[in-house]
Amino acid sequence: MRRIKFFISVFGIFLMMSSIVMILYADTQQSAKELYEAAVFKKDADGDLKGAIEIFSKILVQFPNDRKIASKAQLQIGVCYEKLGQTNIKHALAAFQKVINNYPQQFDEVTIAKQKLMDLQRAAIPSKAEKPEFTIKKIWTGPEADGLGKISPDGRFIAFTDWTTGDLAVLDLTTGKKNRLTNKGNWMKSQEFALFLAWSPDGKQIAYNWWGATSYIDMRVIDASGSKPPRIVHNMKNPESGGAFIIGWTPDGKSVVTAFAEESGLQGRLSLVSIENGSRTHHQRHGCYESCLQSGHIRRHFSGRPLDRLFLSGK
């Protein structure tokens, strides 16, 4: 009889201890839930995103075994960082990724985290359908501003004819400093001048026409920094041509696309002039030379031909 009473007493103590543990566990669950609700209130009602992140982070430390609440807290950390703006996007991405990695069994939270990641990553990549935005900026004003000037490939310099002397000059658009690449003297000393020019693809050289006192035209190339003297690539002081007008460079930087006018001024050719030795490779012959300087006319004469693709496509 005593043994029966003993077992009953032990069983009663066991039941009491189990009840206490269950009550404590229930209180812990409630505490985690209350903490989560307090964090959500601080985020949504108070708008205190950083304060909310602190509370959500505390849940992860204090209640790591409550997978449901912890996954929700981790997800909300990502939401808070997302709302804090671009400077915190990397933290938002990391937080959403942790939901996926650490709580794979929490289907709802993982699904939301994956969608958030996709949205943020998509927003970081510009859409091909978006039209590029263009901004018009005034870069050069004053009496020296020349509509025939050409901007360098990197956009920093503009080469032009300095009409105070007729020299070829380069203007640094960043500093506003002008550098004359030639130095022929004033107009009283010389009537020669530079006109029609083109930058090499690498931006290191400039090809230009030099108009002599006798109206003959040379094609010259000069280092864009002005560290070396110009050299004559093609001398037009011969009877076969009345002039040469630079249009642009070939992509490999070995030749210059040039329009040659014959002495009559009514016939001419588009040719490639070698920078190395000045040799010419003739292409389509055309009439009415002056009109062929207009891009639309050149398109009609050379549409689809190799020279057309070199010059007009800008490649």
Question: What kind and span of H or E run contains 211?
Answer: strand 205-211
Q: pLDDT digit string (tens) for 129-177?
A: 556 666 777 777 777 777 788 899 988 999 999 988 899 999 998 888 9
CA 248, distance to chain mean position in Å, is 25
pLDDT at residue 181 in the model: 92
pLDDT at residue 311 in the model: 40
pLDDT at 71 over 50: yes
Q: Are 107 and 70 in contact (CB under 8 A)?
A: no
User: Rounded to whole angstroms, how far apart are CA atoms 238 and 270?
Assistant: 18
Give the range among 39-48, 59-68, 121-130 with minimum mean pLDDT: 121-130
Where residue 100 falls among pLDDT bands split at 50, 70, 90?
very high
Mean pLDDT of 256-281: 75
Which domains, ranges and CATH numbers included, belong to the chain?
2-124 (1.25.40.10), 150-312 (2.120.10.30)
pTM: 0.49
pLDDT at residue 54 in the model: 92
Q: Are 258 and 247 in contact (CB under 8 A)?
A: yes
pLDDT at residue 258 in the model: 82
134-152 burial code (b ≥16 CB/10 A, e <16): eeeeeeeeeeeebeebbbb
Task: Enter the tokens of residue 211.
Answer: 């108009």
Q: pLDDT digit string (tens) for 196-234?
A: 899 999 999 999 888 876 666 788 899 988 888 888 887
CA atoms within 13 A on the CB side of 217: 21
User: Rounded to whole angstroms, how far apart are CA atoms 76 and 52?
Assistant: 9
Question: What kind and span of H or E run contains 245?
Answer: strand 243-249
Q: Which residues pair with 150 in a beta bridge?
A: 159
Mean pLDDT of 6-28: 51
The maximal CA–CA distance of the chain, rounded, in angstroms, is: 139
User: Rounded to whole angstroms, how far apart are CA atoms 112 and 267?
Assistant: 72
